[in-house]
């Protein structure tokens, strides 16, 4: 079950970072010279999937409520495969037509936005929506993002490389769904909608901090990534050497995050939830404090990265698990997960825009990173206070 849920997330990570790594080759294939204007147009076209990903993330709950989880998963898989095959075909047959390529990327984002909410829903359906399990699930995305650029090292044509991640989606089509979604299950979903609406206003105040935490999480990541680039240039590295140092730093952070998600966070989640949360918040605040105290030395950057990586590896899984506990039906779990995904995307945009403004005004990005870290800490504490954990660790939280 966990392995099959991880495959589409691995494919998502591979697809996105593979295209980013292939931008110079794509510029050559699409006959767009590597000037700032033309490259910017190509980058915009390749990232149109983020727009439809943001729009579509919260829509899959309605489809799940109508068709059931098996049929909805197959619809998403078929759409994702068709849009990517269309992109590859357009790249071979009409590589200069950015309109067609852009439409294919839009469709890819729309169908791809289903996989994370559906995975969360399936985990919750079998009582596995714990911090440990959600962390392991997120590690599939992290691994895909790490492996994407590595595929470019293979001596294969770009269309074949782009087709490789699609092999991870085909098991979703080959799996045997129920012949017919149970009618009683469908009516049960519908009957629970009224109960959900009754408690909706009451639970808004309980779950709102989770969405704020999601925004602050990705805003923090976006700001820190640009701070790391600023740090490398301030160390005197320029040109290709600066790119190599920065790429190595990002790779190291990715590997550390993957290890945390697969090993350290699941180990910590075996402790009482208060201990887990205190450890993650201490790591977050320590990382921010180290940056504020001394952000000019490699050793302080390394220690700060360790703290921030641990916090970013564990906190999203924790507040996602807390949020999903408030929903009892699969369709609402999928919608909630989709809204959380949308909040993460919004946070990334806010963090990137804020960092760009700080750079324009020549303000240090350390302050912005620390502000986002403090915002994340306050949101998590508020969420924990409004959603007290059980006095004992329930079975679904055991690993």
Among 154, 181, 208, give the residue marking a domain's end.
Answer: 181
Whether 28 and 62 share a structural domain: yes
Domain interval for residue 114: 2-181
396 belongs to a structural domain? no
pLDDT mean across residues, the chain: 81
Say if 394 falls within a structural domain: no
User: Does the residue 42 lie in any domain?
Assistant: yes
For residue range 114-139, what is the model confidence (pLDDT) as tens digits? 888 888 888 776 666 677 777 777 77
- Number of domains within the chain: 2
HEC states along 310-361?
A: HHHHHHHHHHHHHHHCCCCCHHHHHHHHHHHHHHHHHHHHHHHHHHHHHHHC
Count of alpha carbons within 13 Å of 343, Cβ hemisphere only? 22
Q: Which of 47, 30, 188 is nearest to 109 (CA)?
A: 47
Tokens 């220690």 belong to which residue?
Answer: 303
Assign residue 353 the CATH number of its domain: 1.20.1250.20
Residue 398 lies in a domain: no
User: Are 150 and 77 within one domain?
Assistant: yes
pTM for the model stands at: 0.75
Closest CA to 6 of 179, 128, 183: 128
pLDDT tens per residue across span 40-91 = 678 778 888 888 888 887 788 788 878 888 888 899 999 999 999 999 999 9
Residues 257 and 114 in one domain: no
- Which parts of the chain sit beneath pLDDT 70? 1-5, 32-40, 125-129, 175-203, 239-240, 243, 326-328, 330-331, 389-399
> Beta-carbon neighbour count of residue 386 at 10 Å?
15
Question: Does the residue 397 lie in any domain?
Answer: no
* 96 and 233 fall within a common domain: no
344 and 281 in a single domain? The answer is: yes
Q: Is residue 341 part of a domain?
A: yes
**Which of 123, 141, 9 minimizes the C-alpha distance to 77?**
9
Q: How far apart are alpha carbons 363 and 171 in whole angstroms? A: 49
Claim to verify: residue 232 and residue 145 sit in the same structural domain:
no
Q: How many CB atoms lie within 10 A of CB 3?
A: 8
Nearest CA among 269, 292, 275, 282 for reference residue 369: 292
């Amino acid at each position: 079950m966990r392995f099959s849920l991880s495959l589409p997330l691995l494919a998502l990570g591979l697809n996105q970072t593979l295209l980013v790594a292939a931008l110079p080759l794509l510029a050559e294939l699409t006959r767009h010279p590597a000037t700032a204007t033309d490259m910017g147009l190509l980058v915009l076209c390749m990232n149109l999937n983020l727009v439809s990903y943001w729009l579509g993330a919260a829509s899959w709950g309605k489809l799940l409520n109508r068709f059931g989880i098996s049929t909805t998963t197959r619809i998403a898989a078929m759409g994702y495969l068709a849009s990517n095959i269309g992109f590859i075909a357009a790249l071979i047959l009409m590589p200069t037509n950015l309109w067609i390529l852009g439409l294919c990327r839009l469709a890819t984002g729309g169908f791809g936005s289903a996989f994370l909410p559906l995975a969360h829903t399936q985990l919750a359906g079998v009582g596995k929506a714990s911090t440990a399990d959600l962390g392991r699930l997120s590690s599939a995305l992290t691994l895909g993002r790490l492996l994407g650029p590595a595929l470019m090292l293979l001596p294969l044509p770009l269309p074949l490389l782009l087709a490789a991640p699609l092999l991870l989606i085909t098991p979703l089509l080959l799996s045997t769904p129920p012949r017919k979604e149970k009618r009683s299950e469908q009516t049960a979903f519908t009957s629970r909608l009224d109960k959900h609406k009754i408690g909706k206003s009451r639970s808004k105040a309980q779950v709102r901090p989770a969405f704020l935490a999601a925004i602050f999480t990705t805003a923090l990541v976006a700001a820190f990534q640009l701070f790391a680039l600023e740090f490398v240039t301030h160390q005197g590295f320029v040109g290709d050497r600066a790119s190599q140092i920065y790429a190595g730093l990002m790779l190291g952070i990715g590997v550390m995050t993957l290890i945390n998600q697969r090993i350290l966070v699941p180990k910590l989640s075996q402790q009482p939830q208060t201990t887990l949360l205190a450890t993650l918040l201490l790591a977050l605040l320590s990382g921010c404090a180290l940056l504020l105290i001394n952000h000019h030395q490699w050793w302080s950057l390394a220690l700060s990265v360790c703290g921030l990586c641990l916090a970013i590896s564990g906190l999203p899984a924790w507040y996602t698990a807390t949020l999903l506990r408030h929903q009892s039906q699969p369709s609402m779990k999928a919608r909630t997960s989709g809204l959380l995904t949308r909040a993460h995307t919004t946070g990334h945009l806010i963090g990137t825009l804020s960092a760009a403004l700080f750079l324009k005004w020549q303000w240090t990005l350390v302050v912005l990173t620390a502000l986002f870290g403090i915002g994340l800490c306050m949101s998590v504490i508020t969420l924990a206070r409004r959603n007290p954990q059980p006095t004992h660790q329930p079975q679904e939280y055991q690993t």
